[in-house]
Chains A and B, each alone.
Chain A
Amino acid sequence: MPNQIDELDEELRELLRRKADAIGPPDGLERTMRRSTRRLARNAVVALLTLGLLGSGAVAGVRSLGGATGTKPADTSPSPSPMPQASGSSGVRSAVSTEGVTWFHPTPEMPLGLAGADGTLWVASGGNIAFPAPASDPGAEAGVASLARFDVDTGKITTVEVGQAGDVGVAAAFGDAWVLRRSGEVIRIDGVSLRKEASIRVPNPSEAAADGSLWVVSLGGTLTRIDPRTNAIVATIDTGVPATRGIENNGDLVPPNNGVPATGVSVGDGSVWVRGGGRVVRVDPETNAVQTTIDLGGSVDGLAVGPSGVWASVCGPGGPPCTWQLVRIDPATNAVASRRVLGRWESSAMPGVKGSIGRAGITVDSGSVWVSLAVNYNQYARGKILRIDPATGEIAATLVVPGSGGTTVGVTEQANTSDIFGPALIEGGAVWVINIESGEVVRIDLPGF
């Protein structure tokens, strides 16, 4: 801090005081009271609904890594809280829980990527990417991207830096974390030591999945196959999905739609499946060749492969506005076996429309298909988790993900802030969701895994 008090400092103090005084009295008391009353009522309803789910057995119980089981949350404040740790740090993060939902905060700034395997959860955070350094002061504001390792049993969290702030994703494979830097790099981080094992140049990596190899799809639609024994690229495959470069931001590429990668990849049923544009492309790992391209129309947002088939969330036919559908592809025929309407994305304009669904992520386990929805994306968004019975395609359970400490991140008529939920993930007997804007990682304990 500069200790010297010069003329400019004094002028600045005077300027701020006078500008602040000139703003006048606040208005909106009545409006604030109405909104807060509605929110409190909504919180009560959500609490009752959640308790109802508990009673029906849909919610397994309370799991708290930071406090006593079953207690009310100690704090939902925007926090006088510990600093995000920068490098090589570890500790048990603060967590609050209520009725089967646990919030972990703070995570490093801007969590964007979520992956998990073998009881370990990985969260990749972009750092301060919203405030890029000005050209006159490069590096001054950018900060660092980081990777956090959550032990889902103990709550221990260890964080390492993974380069300059920027858009990131993460995959868990071969016991390690693979950090995807959209700027053109895949970084392999040792799952135990958290040391950097390798850096592999891959153009604009979007998502990755693994069977015997690591498969990385680029924003441009290229599929890159990496041998985990040598960390060498052994094949690059043009999948033919539409190239999407993303938005240039501080020299980095930010995928459109606030972090939803335009392309994605999943493995299962002996194939590699790539999504991009309105298509799902099936690749044969034996030949590294495209087997078939399935046109689903619209835009494919989520893709997951499980025992019940290949599942995709599609918003189409054009738009937004468009209609979200949960589509199941039968891998035996490569044909669409079922479609189920999930809702509408009414508009991408700000402010959004109440009830509008801005994104739909999918994850699959042996017994269920889980759909993570961000409702009313451009205003406050509610995270909503649907559990789908793969046999019938019907919704077996619905849970609105509350915000910190039991307050609902509710839909309001105000349009100047939002809470954006990323895709869900299942690990360690729970559904995990990241909240991009609040920087929270949310754990929802549900049975049936």
Chain B
Amino acid sequence: MGSLSASLNIALQSMLAEQGAIETTSNNIANANTPGYSRQRPDLEEMPPVKLGGITLGAGVQMTQVSSLRDKVLELRIDQETQQQGQLNSFISGGQQVQVLFNETSGTGLQAPLSNFFNSLSELSTNPSDLTTRQNVITAAQNLANAFNQTSTNLATLQRNTDLAAQQSVTQINSLITQIAQVNQQVVAATTTGGNAGPFEDQRQQLIGKLSNYIDVAEVDAGNNSLTLTTAGGSALVVGGQSFALTTNADPVTGFQNVYSNGNNITSKIMGGELAGQVQIRDQEIPGIQNSLDALAFQLSTAVNQQNQAGFDLNGSAGGNIFNALAQQGGAAASLRVSITDPGKIAASGGPAPGTPGDNTNANALLALQNQNFISGLTPTNFYSNLVFKIGNDISSAETNQSSGGQVLLQLQNLQGGISGVDINEEAANLMRFQNAYQASAQVSSIINRLMDVTMNMMG
């Protein structure tokens, strides 16, 4: 047998449940534009039925919980793509600054000074006794040395700037993992007390997304909704409520900051995020270009010096060095100088000693270097042209990957939005539904109220 008071109770319960649903809807609408927010759903459930004298009666509705709608696998995929994008973005941004130094399409780079140097020798070969022509060779050699110096210095500056950026990335990473560790604890607390951990998870997910922009992150479920974060190489970043800050320490050889996790140097093991791109530019791309420049400067100046030594200068002495004698290839581009100021010292003449002012035999030999394959098996211009190709191509490949990865990321974000994004129309429809149900329950309680009045009056 049912009772009026039970009915009244059901109506009141229902009003409470719908009220909760309306509140959830209102919260969804309020957070429609909040970054990282996952839409929430009020979970309405039937109350356990009541058995009265052989009859099982329904006991109304209750709102058991509010759950956030999310797809953890999608989130993981988005994080992975974000890591790749972060790496490519910082690589491309660094690479673009590098390629400005070699932008031959606008005439910036070593081609012009290199060609001019050989052109001055070409002129010398037609007029070996002329002092102005000889002076031009020295000037062209100085311009070439300056171009090497300047390019090398600019590369070193870019490398230092990238090193600073990498340190800033580490600072960001440390700040993020501290926050993630705190939120991770809040997620666990909310989960174990049976509350809705959704908002905390949103926050944690957003922080992991930001972290993914800086470094590669692997996630392991540690139970109770807790996450353990490590780098892809397995270095711990966050375990439960504890974060493991990365540290930096200057490399004894390069002077650049290496990244350490718990005392282990993980610099070369960082696989994703901006930090990976920065390390790649700093430790591979720029050193590679510097090496090529050094090889060109060293082998070219050595060959020119050797050839000049083979001839005789305007004063009849055996030729010496035109460029300073470099002891080693490393750092050659930065330390290349012209070591003569006297235009007579250029050994245009061939033998026998003491040579003659009108003899251009050795000037011809110096000029012939232009088309000899002596820079790692290539002519100076072809060697340099290959370097320009490599610089452009590294950026171009990264840009292709960035663009295709960006498309994938956008797709994934759209899929995630399909699951977690707030749709105002949908919320409006829900609002109407919950409003109707609330109004109906209110109406029911008012009717029961009247029925109670009737019953009371029967007694009077």
**Is B truly associated with A?**
no
What residues make up the interface of B, taking CB atoms closer than 8 Å to A? none
